[in-house]
C-alpha cells in the first residue's frame, strides 16, 4: 500500500509541475547532481495542513534552482522576487495537496485544506506518532523537490 | 466584444497566473479586477461592471461557495458567467457548483482547457 501511495503522490506532483510550471520529469540517473543531498532542509519549504475526511499535512522542499524556476515559469518573470518565490511555492503546494487528499479520504468525503504556510530555516516534521508518513523525491529538468506527507485516514484515531 | 474580468482568489500568484493565461488565450479584456476573498469580491462586483467572474473555493473571510451563492441572489449577477477554479474533487460539491449555474475548472489546468471553459460559458450566455 505504501508504494501505491508513493506512486500516486509522485504522479500528482509531476503532473502539477508539468502543467503549471512547464517542467519535465527526469529519472534519478539523469540528474547531474546528487538529488538527495542537494535538497536543502534549512531552506524554504511550504506546508499545507488538511482535515476532515483525512487529517495531516504535506511538506514540499525544493532545491534553490527549482524554487526560482517555479516562480519564473508560473509568473512569467525572469528574476522573481523572494515574495514571488514564496507565493509560487505556496500555490504549488496548495495544488499538489488539494489533488492528494482524496487518495486518503474514503467515500468521496470532503477534506478541507489550510492555507499554505511558508517555513524558512527548517520545519519540525516529526509529526504525531499516530500519523503515517510517505516521502518521495521528484526529479525535474529544473531541479528536485522532496514531498513528505503525514496523514491519518478517517476513523483511525477513534 | 471586450470583457471586464474579476478574479477572486486569496493567492496573488494564482490571480496573476489566471490573468496571464487569459491573455495567452487571446481574449479581448478591457479591465481586470482582483479580490483576495469572497467579501472583497462582492464589493468589487458592486463597484464595477463585470462580464466574467473567476472564484477560488478555499478562501478566508468568505469562501467561494458562499460568494457564489451571494452572487446568484443578486438580480444584477444572476446570469453572470462564473468559473470556479479549484483543486476540489468532491462530486457533491462540483454538482452544487453546476446547480448554481457556474462552470468548474480543476487545478492544475492548461491554457487550452481554460480557453475552452471560458468560450463555453461566454457562448452559452450569448445564446441565452
Domain boundary assignment for chain A:
2-153
* Model confidence band, residue A81 (pLDDT cutoffs 50, 70, 90): very high
Identify all chain B residues contacting A115, using CB atoms and an 8 Å cutoff.
Answer: 10, 58, 60
Q: Residue B84: list chain A partners with CB under 8 A.
A: none
User: What local confidence, expressed as pLDDT, does residue A158 receive?
Assistant: 45
Are B108 and A15 a contacting pair at CB < 8 A?
yes
Could you list the residue range(s) of the whole structural domain that residue B7 is in?
3-127
- To test the contact with chain A by mutation, choose from B34, B63, B108, B114 the residue with the greatest count of A C-beta atoms within 10 A, namely B108
Number of domains in chain B: 1
Q: Which helix (H) or strand (E) holds A140?
A: strand A132-140
Residue A157 has pLDDT above 80, yes or no: no
| CATH code for the part of the protein at A2-153 | 3.40.1550.10
CB proximity B105 to A under 8 Å: no
Distances (CA, A) of B69 to A117, B31, B53, B66, B83: 28, 24, 13, 5, 13
Nearest to A56 by CA among A158, A134, A137: A134
For β-strands A132-140 and A117-120, DSSP reports them as unpaired
List alpha helices for chain B, DSSP H.
12-25, 38-47, 64-73, 91-99, 111-127
Q: Please tell me the total number of residues recorded for chain B in this structure.
A: 128
Q: Is the pLDDT of residue A31 over 90?
A: no
User: Residues A10, A155, A55, A129: is their CA dihedral positive or negative?
Assistant: negative
Q: Cα B114–B8–B85 angle (5° rounding)?
A: 35
The whole-angstrom distance between A28's CA and the closest CA on chain B is: 25
Total residue length of chain A: 158
**Residues of chain B contacting A110 with CB distance shorter than 8 Å:** 90, 92-93
pLDDT tens string, chain B, 128 residues long: the values are 789 999 999 999 999 999 988 888 778 899 999 999 999 999 999 999 999 999 999 899 999 999 999 999 998 899 999 999 999 888 888 999 999 999 999 999 988 898 889 888 877 765 55
**A75 vs A91: CA distance, rounded Å:** 11
- DSSP helix/strand/coil, A153: strand
**Could A75 and B17 be called an inter-chain contact, meaning their C-beta atoms sit closer than 8 Å?**
yes
pLDDT in tens, A121-150: 776 665 566 788 999 999 999 999 999 999
Cis preceding-peptide flag for A123 (omega within 30 of 0): no
The reply to whether B10 touches chain A by the CB within 8 Å rule is yes
Mean pLDDT calculated for residue range A111-115: 88
Taken in order A58, A62, A68, A72, the sign of the CA dihedral is negative
CA dihedral A27, A28, A30, A36 (to 10 degrees): 140
Q: What is the pTM of this model?
A: 0.89
What pLDDT does B21 receive?
Answer: 86
Instruction: Answer yes or no: do A108 and B110 touch at CB < 8 A.
Output: no
Q: How far apart are CA A94 and CA B67, in angstroms?
A: 21
User: In this structure, what CATH number is given to the domain that contains residue B80?
Assistant: 3.40.50.2300
Residues with Cβ within 8 Å of residue B100, at least 6 apart in sequence: B68, B69, B72, B82
Give the helix, strand, coil percentages of chain B, each rounded to 5: 50, 20, 30
Q: Which residues contact B46 (CB under 8 A, 6 or more apart)?
A: none
Most confident stretch, A34-48, A90-104, B13-27? A90-104
Amino acid at each position: 500500500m505504501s508504494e501505491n501511495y508513493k506512486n500516486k503522490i509522485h504522479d500528482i506532483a509531476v503532473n502539477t509541475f508539468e502543467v503549471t510550471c512547464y517542467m519535465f520529469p527526469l529519472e534519478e540517473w539523469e540528474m547531474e547532481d546528487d538529488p538527495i543531498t542537494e535538497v536543502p532542509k534549512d531552506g524554504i519549504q511550504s506546508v499545507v495542513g488538511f482535515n476532515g475526511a483525512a487529517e495531516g499535512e504535506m511538506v514540499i522542499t525544493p532545491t534553490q534552482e527549482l524554487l526560482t524556476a517555479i516562480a519564473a515559469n508560473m509568473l512569467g518573470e525572469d528574476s522573481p522576487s523572494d515574495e514571488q518565490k514564496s507565493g509560487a511555492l505556496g500555490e504549488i503546494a496548495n495544488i499538489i495537496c488539494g489533488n492528494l487528499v482524496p487518495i486518503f479520504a474514503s467515500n468521496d468525503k470532503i477534506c478541507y485544506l489550510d492555507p499554505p504556510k511558508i517555513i524558512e530555516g527548517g520545519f519540525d516534521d516529526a509529526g504525531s506518532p499516530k500519523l503515517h508518513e510517505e516521502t518521495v523525491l521528484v526529479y525535474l529538468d529544473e531541479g528536485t523537490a522532496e514531498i513528505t506527507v503525514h496523514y491519518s485516514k478517517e476513523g483511525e484515531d477513534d | 466584444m471586450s470583457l471586464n474580468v474579476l478574479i477572486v482568489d486569496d493567492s496573488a500568484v494564482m490571480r496573476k497566473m489566471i490573468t496571464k493565461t487569459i491573455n495567452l488565450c487571446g481574449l479581448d479584456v478591457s479591465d481586470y479586477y482582483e479580490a483576495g476573498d469572497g467579501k472583497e469580491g462582492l464589493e468589487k462586483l458592486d463597484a464595477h461592471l463585470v462580464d466574467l467572474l473567476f472564484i477560488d473555493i478555499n478562501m478566508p473571510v468568505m469562501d467561494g461557495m458562499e460568494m457564489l451563492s451571494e452572487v446568484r441572489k443578486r438580480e444584477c449577477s444572476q446570469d453572470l458567467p462564473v468559473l470556479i477554479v479549484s483543486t476540489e474533487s468532491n462530486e457533491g460539491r462540483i454538482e452544487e457548483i453546476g446547480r448554481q449555474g457556474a462552470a468548474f475548472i480543476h487545478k492544475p489546468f492548461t491554457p487550452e482547457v481554460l480557453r475552452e471553459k471560458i468560450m463555453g460559458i461566454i457562448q452559452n450566455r450569448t445564446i441565452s
